[in-house]
Amino acid sequence: MSGEPLHVTLWRENRALAEECLAHPFVRGLGDGRLDPETFKEYVAQDAFFLRAFFSAYALAGVRAVERLEVAQRLHGLMRGVLDELKLHEGYAESLAIDLESVRPHRAARAYTDFLLRTAWTAEVGEIMAAMTPCMRLYAHLGQELAAGDHSQNPYREWIETYSSEEFEALATELESLLDELAHNTRGVSFAYRYAMRCELDFFSASLAEGF
Amino acid sequence: MKEFTESRLALGSGELWDLGTYAEFLDAIGDGSLPEDAFHRWLVQDYLFVKGFAAFASLTVAKTPRPAQSLLIAGLSALDDELDWFEAYAEAKSLDLGAEFHPACQRYVDFLIAAGFSQPFQVLLAILYGVEVAYTVAWGRLEAQGPYAEFISRWTHEDFQTYVRALLRIADEHLHPGQQEMFDQVMRHERDFWQMTWES
């Protein structure tokens, strides 16, 4: 498959994990609206904790890319996307009475943020992109799959609409194009992508079966 | 060992202290029942861990002011000797030190490096102490006997305990409200690391 863009290769190689996420009881619960609201609240808090680390990882990638201002500028646009995503969480926090300031991250959230930040502090920018892409592409995929059904009465409609929106798809595509530009298919890059996808799956599992 | 088990950080961590310093894996080393190949699998992961830990210790050296820094530089040199020892042993036994990280080892190293870059030096001192004290206390519960006597003696050496005691002193001299939470994290990772080999 020579000539295939890297993001296509990595997505294909990890597609089974992505489909495992789609079939996960947590995600199915979002899709059919039957997810326990308390579980959702805890998930939102954990996800907000995660997004702060995700934001930092973009910032640290930006530090590496400062010699190429055009790349830095695009990373800056992606950072704005995270801030917008956090607004969704703040909205939930307000309407569902979630305290986002005193989140006790569960093990899966810690493992994921430790991995992201370790990568962001120590790896080349291409590998950082590989560690970050699964989150964006997976959520766009989940959002679009869940939006395909009738969700007009779904209590998690706003979540589904956010991640199935054109704006979110554009962010995921932008990150994938940075990945294609900045990374090569090395052992480190392919490991980072796979490990992040595995962290996504673990994150959903931990959100159902809370384990500190 | 009393100064360790009754230290502020150990007491503050509650049951995590015991979870991080007792392990079935160690019992099996103590009574000699652990199969050699299981021990070798653990040893390779421990080598990968020590490499990451040395990077963490370097970050701690970089952030810590003198005179506390001297002790950390000496500790870093001891870690280098430890890595040499692992490499020589692995060569003699034909162990593959290029093996993949076990997820428990990966999580532990990710935690250390992420903390090394982002936490203040006082917190890093508590983490460094946590890693070393867990090791010395866990191994120190064993008698140096049986097929693993050489290893038990190595990791319960008096010089090592003296070093850990000095680490405790500097962690106590540089108090910080973030120390306990990160010390607790170390104990969780220690627990997972001991269980890693036992469960596979």
* Cβ-based contacts of B111 with chain A (< 8 Å): 110, 114
Percent of chain A with pLDDT over 70: 98
Taking contacts as CB-CB distances below 8 angstroms, the residues of chain A near B106 are: 115, 195
B185 and A CB contact within 8 Å = yes
**Confidence (pTM):** 0.92
**What average pLDDT does range B91-96 have in this prediction?**
94
Quick one: pLDDT at residue A212?
35
> What is the rounded average pLDDT of the residues A30-50?
94
Q: Are B185 and B33 in contact (CB under 8 A)?
A: no
Q: At residue A134, does pLDDT exceed 60?
A: yes
pLDDT of residue A211: 41
Measure B20 CA to nearest chain A CA, in Å: 15
B-chain CB neighbours of A111 within 8 Å are 107, 110
DSSP conformation class of B101: P
Tally: H helices and E strands in chain B: 11, 0
CA B68 – CA B161 distance, rounded (Å): 17
CA dist., res. B132 & res. B166, Å (int):
11
Range in A137-146, B54-63, B139-148 with the lowest mean pLDDT: B139-148
- Span A10-32, mean pLDDT? 97
B109 and A110 in contact by Cβ < 8 A?
A: no
Report yes or no: B99 at the A interface, CB cutoff 8 Å. no
Radius of gyration of chain B (CA): 16
Contact B114 A107 (CB under 8 A): no
Residue B186 buriedness (CB in 10 A; 0-12 / 13-18 / 19+):
buried
Nearest alpha-carbon partner for B105 in B200, B5, B28 = B200
- Give the Cβ contact number of residue A101 at 10 Å: 8
Asked whether the predicted pLDDT for residue B169 surpasses 90, the reply is: yes
Q: What is the mean pLDDT of residues A77-83?
A: 95
Quote the pLDDT of residue A162. 93
CA–CA separation, B75 vs B71, rounded Å?
A: 6
Domains of chain B: 2-199 (1.20.910.10)
Instruction: Compute how many other C-beta atoms are within 10 angstroms of the C-beta atom of residue A23.
Output: 9
Q: How far apart, in whole angstroms, are the C-alpha atoms of residue A49 and residue B43? A: 34
Mean pLDDT of A76-86: 94
Instruction: Tell me the H-state helices in B141-178.
Output: 149-155, 158-173
Does B113 contact A107 at a Cβ distance shorter than 8 Å? no
Closest by Cβ to A121, choosing from B113, B185, B188: B113
Q: Are A114 and B117 a contacting pair at CB < 8 A?
A: no
Instruction: Dump pLDDT digits (tens) for B121-153.
Output: 999 999 999 999 999 999 999 999 999 999 999
Structure tokens at A100: 């986002």
B29's tokens: 């080393």
Q: What structural domains and CATH numbers belong to chain A?
A: 6-208 (1.20.910.10)
pLDDT band at A2 (very low <50, low <70, confident <90, very high): low
